[in-house]
């Protein structure tokens, strides 16, 4: 029998290999750690992994022993998983990419980490992220820049770029990120992966270092729709420590994975949103790839129509409007969060700024946040009203046009080169401001071989349907390919 390789294998394939005696959880962990040793700080030096748990080998052996005793907790049992470094973990510090928090240990797991562990997953490493999640190029003061495994001269997207680069490079079976405005979907798009931002309230925020309580949400980044659905099954639902998740009660299906069995596009109606496709010549390379991917849906039985809604701009707002809520939230949210830990090296944003040491790429944003004077001033309240209006507008658009989802590029531009920290072209606000779910899936590649993502946005709590649509597209048009910079 040929030696089993976990390279590019799905979670279901890994489970089958373990059950058939071809491999073990210990061997899987060894495989991923060997790849990290070979490619993360040497060779292409992706710089995707911040730290590996000292308990990982013991946990892997325990999962193998449980399996041998007939106790398999579920589809994630014994599967190595990485999480973004804004997820609290018992066994590792939680830095949010900041040198100031290098030794910050909370003594607890985030709810999503606890759920993964309870499901039998081996949460074995933490990934690099844009400092305080306040950007989309994945640069931080603690460990520097993460590289895109498909082109080492450009960034991987962010702020969950470390998770995306790690999953794309086969450093883990699957990973967790967080999304405040594109931070799951953009790196998924730039790394030929699938990433979901769920309806606000689908997944708990407890134990995530906050950027914005208004828009933060955690979620999976995976190499396939089925892998993403497998992680969702283990992590969604009500958490008494996050009141927002109360909205998910009665809205979570028994299994997202089981729903994939009925995946098809027959009779489905998609709207290609012109205003999110292209705003000039710099957007055209990405737009053309997404147009072709959208047209492919029609060959699967979907009706694909083009829509133009220029009035959306007023509701979505520009980058400064989008930053206003984040800026205001961050000042108060990070202060409230850090004040809950007596050992925290700072208790407020002002103390973070005074301590210095943060990367220059976030300095302006930190100072804009600190300059806000009121937790809920008039401008802030107006922006929240605009977000609620956007949600109503998008629901009405989907209903009146008979649409099952909107289609547009995850981000209209290719990733900027290393050393450039401002990235234009994000479509993140459509989902992030409205609180509606959106999934990014591979649409194809640029002429230079950089992955391009396509986003599907649906009604609130329509994740199961979005996953079905994405699965049907993935099955008919398998666009996943491993990056050449990190060969097997």
pLDDT tops 60 at residue 255: yes
Against a cut of 0.85, is the pTM above it? yes
Residue of 278 and 472 predicted with greater confidence: 472
pLDDT of residue 252: 98
pLDDT of residue 312: 93
If you average pLDDT over every residue of the chain, what do you get?
97
For 256-292, write each residue's pLDDT tens digit.
Answer: 999 999 999 999 999 999 999 998 899 999 999 999 9
pLDDT tops 80 at residue 86: yes
Instruction: Return the SS3 of 303.
Output: strand
Instruction: Return the SS3 of 406.
Output: strand
Specify the long-range contacts of residues 272-275, CB closer than 8 Å, at least 24 apart.
Answer: 272/304, 272/305, 272/306, 272/307, 272/406, 272/407, 272/408, 273/307, 273/309, 273/312, 273/406, 273/407, 273/408, 274/306, 274/307, 274/308, 274/309, 275/308, 275/309, 275/310, 275/312, 275/313
pLDDT tops 80 at residue 133: yes
Mean pLDDT along residues 450-471: 99
Cα 42 to the center of its chain, rounded Å: 25
Percent of the chain exceeding pLDDT 90 equals 94
pLDDT tops 90 at residue 377: no
Mean pLDDT along residues 23-50: 99
Tokens 């009500």, residue located: 238
Residues 6 or more apart in contact with residue 164 via CB below 8 angstroms: 156, 157, 175, 177, 187, 188, 190, 191, 193, 195, 221
Q: How many residues does the chain have?
A: 488
pLDDT tops 70 at residue 357: yes
* Confidence tier at 322 by pLDDT (50, 70, 90): low
pLDDT of residue 464: 99
Q: Which of 112, 142, 110 is nearest to 127 (CA)?
A: 142
For 158-175, write each residue's pLDDT tens digit.
Answer: 999 999 999 999 999 999
Q: Which of 203, 246, 214 is nearest to 432 (CA)?
A: 214
Catalogue all structural domains in the chain, each as residue range(s) with its CATH number: 27-238+263-476 (3.90.1300.10)
Percent of the chain exceeding pLDDT 70 equals 99
> Which H or E run contains 428?
none
pLDDT tops 90 at residue 406: yes
Q: Note the maximum CA span of the chain.
A: 68
pLDDT of residue 120: 99
C-alpha neighbours within 13 Å on the C-beta side of residue 140: 31
pLDDT of residue 319: 62
pLDDT tops 70 at residue 52: yes
Least confident of 115-119, 281-285, 469-473: 281-285
Alpha-helix residue ranges (DSSP H) falling in 40-160: 56-68, 111-118
* Whole-angstrom distance, CA of residue 52 vs CA of residue 63: 18
Write out the catalytic residue numbers: 84, 159, 183
Residues 6 or more apart in contact with residue 199 via CB below 8 angstroms: 247, 248, 251, 435, 436, 437, 460, 461, 462, 463
pLDDT of residue 196: 99
pLDDT tops 70 at residue 1: no
pLDDT of residue 323: 76
pLDDT tops 80 at residue 2: no
């Amino acid at each position: 029998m040929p030696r089993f390789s976990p390279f590019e294998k799905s979670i279901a394939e890994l489970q089958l290999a373990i059950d058939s005696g071809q491999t073990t959880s210990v061997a899987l962990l060894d495989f991923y750690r060997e790849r990290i040793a070979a490619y993360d700080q040497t060779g292409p030096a992706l710089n995707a992994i911040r730290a590996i748990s000292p308990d990982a080998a013991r946990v892997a052996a325990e999962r193998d022993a449980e399996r041998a005793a007939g106790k398999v907790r579920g589809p994630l049992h014994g599967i190595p998983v990485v999480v973004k470094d804004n997820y609290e973990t018992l066994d590792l510090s939680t830095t949010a990419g900041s040198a100031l928090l290098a030794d910050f240990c909370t003594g607890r797991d985030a709810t999503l980490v606890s759920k993964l562990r309870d499901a039998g997953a081996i949460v074995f490493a933490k990934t690099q992220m844009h400092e305080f999640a306040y950007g989309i190029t994945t640069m931080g003061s603690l460990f520097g820049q993460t590289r895109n495994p498909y082109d080492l001269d450009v960034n991987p997207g962010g702020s969950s770029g470390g998770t995306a680069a790690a999953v794309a490079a086969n450093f883990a079976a699957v990973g967790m990120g967080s999304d405040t405005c594109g931070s799951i979907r953009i790196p998924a798009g730039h790394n030929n992966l699938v990433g979901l931002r769920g309806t606000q309230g689908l997944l708990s925020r407890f134990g995530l270092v906050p950027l914005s309580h208004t828009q933060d949400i955690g979620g999976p980044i995976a190499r396939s729709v089925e892998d993403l659905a497998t992680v969702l099954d283990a992590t969604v639902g009500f958490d008494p420590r996050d009141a927002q998740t109360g909205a998910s009660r009665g809205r979570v299906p028994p299994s997202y994975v089981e729903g994939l069995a009925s995946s098809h596009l027959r009779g489905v109606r998609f709207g290609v949103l012109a205003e999110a496709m292209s705003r000039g010549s710099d957007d055209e390379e990405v737009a053309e790839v997404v147009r072709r991917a959208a047209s492919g849906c029609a060959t699967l039985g979907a009706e694909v129509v083009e829509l133009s809604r220029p009035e959306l701009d007023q509701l979505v707002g520009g980058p400064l409007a989008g930053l206003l809520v984040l800026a205001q939230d961050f000042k108060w949210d990070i202060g409230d969060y850090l004040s809950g830990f007596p050992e925290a090296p700072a208790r407020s944003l002002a103390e973070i700024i005074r301590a210095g040491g943060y990367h220059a790429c976030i300095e302006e944003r930190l100072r804009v946040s600190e300059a806000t004077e009121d937790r809920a001033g008039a401008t802030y309240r107006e922006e929240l009203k605009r977000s609620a209006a956007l949600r109503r507008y998008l629901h009405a658009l989907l209903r009146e046009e008979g649409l099952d989802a909107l289609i547009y590029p995850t981000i209209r531009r290719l990733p900027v080169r290393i050393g450039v920290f401002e990235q234009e072209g994000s479509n993140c606000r459509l989902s992030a401001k409205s609180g509606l779910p959106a999934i990014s899936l591979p649409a194809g590649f640029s002429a230079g071989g950089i992955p391009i993502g396509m986003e599907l946005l649906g009604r609130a709590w329509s994740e199961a349907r979005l996953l079905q649509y994405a699965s049907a597209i993935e099955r008919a048009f398998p666009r996943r390919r491993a990056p050449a910079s990190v060969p097997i």
